């Protein structure tokens, strides 16, 4: 699964070539349910092992257009994880204090410690997405950030942070449907903001900005995956599967006990 959706280093991304509505080998949610449950079970065990071992950490980066499904992914895929070793950080518009530092300052502080899983709901990529599209800084500033991001992610990776990045790819029509339902359903009204309607007008600019970020910042040590996300169930399944594959590839083992277990007598 990972190979299918991974952007290879140096591969030029054209999002129109990636189908947001495909569902792989599965034609319905029902058929995928078993695979999903199995993945979640395996993931919980692997997380336990990651925590026990405490040798490395996992950083999961989620990016998407508005209504792309970041929150739903966190609820369904990461919801079953143990809150003891898993933390979500949501990155909003930077505060005055954050703006007075380099753009990675607030990001670095949120990187997971060894044994932990960190989930970024939006991330440092906003600094080459909204910041570029809305011209919040000059081109001379944002254009250097692709290299700076790669350097930063390499530093993390060389220090035991496994980075997995997911772009939840929805179509413009699917976004319209989801935003419309936020307007129509009183229980979803709280989710919609004028910014959602405003940002939608910049769809093409966002596509161009995403294509550059996905092309320039997919590396062997911090790969991007482009996940078909029009079908929420398939999005969840694909991400859970890629996480299991990655965790299993770490070759983790429970640490040796600190003491001679046989010599410990309980009374
Ligand atoms: P939802 O998808 O549920 O609406 P959200 O992640 O969009 O959640 P909001 O509070 O609606 O949360 O929006 C956060 C806003 O902060 C986004 O528009 C995002 O682009 C913006 N943002 C994040 N990082 C930066 C940044 N570095 N510079 C400027 N804006 C940023
Ligand atoms: Mg929003």
Domain boundaries along the sequence of the chain? 2-253
pLDDT of amino acid 199: 92
Counting every residue written for the chain, the total comes to 267
pLDDT of amino acid 31: 85
CA of 100 to the centre of ligand 1 (A): 19
Q: Which of 88, 93, 121, 124 to mutate to test the pocket of ligand 1 (most atoms within 8 A of CB)?
A: 93
CA of 219 to the centre of ligand 1 (A): 25
pLDDT of amino acid 244: 97
Which-ligand-closest: CA of 103? 1
CB 47 within 8 A of CB 76: no
Indicate which atom in ligand 1 lies nearest the CA of residue 121: 6
CA of 35 to the centre of ligand 2 (A): 31
CB 13 within 8 A of CB 220: no
pLDDT in tens, the chain (267 residues): 889 999 999 999 999 999 999 999 998 898 899 999 999 999 999 999 999 999 999 999 999 999 999 999 999 999 999 999 999 999 999 999 999 999 999 999 999 999 999 999 999 999 999 999 999 999 999 999 999 999 999 999 999 999 999 999 999 999 999 999 999 999 999 999 999 999 999 999 999 999 999 999 999 999 999 999 999 999 999 999 999 999 999 999 999 988 888 898 998
The closest residue, in CA terms, to atom 31 on ligand 1 is 93
Alpha-carbon gap, residue 250 to 248, rounded angstroms = 5
CA of 135 to the centre of ligand 1 (A): 15
pTM above 0.75, yes or no: yes
Indicate which atom in ligand 1 lies nearest the CA of residue 64: 2
pLDDT of amino acid 258: 85
Residues whose beta carbon lies within 6 Å of some atom of ligand 1: 66, 70-71, 91-94, 122, 126-127, 130-131, 136, 191, 193, 195
CA of 60 to the centre of ligand 2 (A): 19
Q: What share of the chain is helix, strand, coil (3-state, %, to 5)?
A: 50, 10, 35
CB 119 within 8 A of CB 86: yes
CATH superfamily assigned to domain 2-253: P-loop containing nucleotide triphosphate hydrolases (3.40.50.300)
Token pair 């772009």 is at which residue?
Answer: 167
Indicate which atom in ligand 1 lies nearest the CA of residue 193: 11
Alpha-carbon gap, residue 183 to 191, rounded angstroms = 9
pLDDT of amino acid 128: 98
Indicate which atom in ligand 1 lies nearest the CA of residue 129: 20
């Amino acid at each position: 699964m990972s190979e299918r959706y991974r952007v290879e280093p140096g591969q030029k991304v054209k999002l129109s070539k990636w189908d947001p509505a495909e569902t792989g080998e599965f034609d319905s949610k029902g058929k995928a349910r078993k695979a999903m449950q199995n993945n979640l079970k395996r993931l919980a065990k692997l997380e336990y092992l990651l925590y026990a071992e405490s040798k490395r950490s996992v950083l999961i980066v989620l990016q998407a257009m508005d209504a792309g499904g970041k929150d739903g992914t966190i609820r369904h895929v990461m919801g079953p994880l143990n809150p003891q070793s898993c933390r979500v950080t949501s990155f909003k518009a930077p505060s005055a204090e954050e703006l007075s530092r380099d753009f990675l300052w607030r990001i670095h502080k949120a990187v997971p410690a060894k044994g932990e899983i960190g989930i970024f709901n939006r991330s440092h990529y906003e600094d080459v997405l909204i910041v570029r599209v809305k011209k919040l800084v000059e081109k001379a500033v944002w254009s250097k950030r692709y290299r700076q991001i790669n350097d930063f992610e390499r530093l993390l990776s060389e220090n035991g942070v496994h980075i997995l990045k997911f772009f939840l790819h929805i179509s413009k029509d699917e976004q319209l449907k989801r935003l419309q339902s936020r307007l129509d359903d009183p229980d979803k009204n709280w989710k919609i903001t004028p910014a959602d309607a405003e940002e939608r007008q910049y769809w093409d600019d966002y596509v161009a900005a995403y294509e550059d970020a996905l092309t320039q910042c997919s590396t062997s040590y911090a790969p991007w995956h482009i996940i078909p996300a029009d079908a929420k169930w398939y999005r969840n399944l694909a991400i859970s599967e890629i996480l299991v594959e990655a965790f299993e590839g770490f070759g983790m083992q429970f640490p040796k006990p600190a003491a001679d277990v046989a010599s410990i007598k309980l009374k």
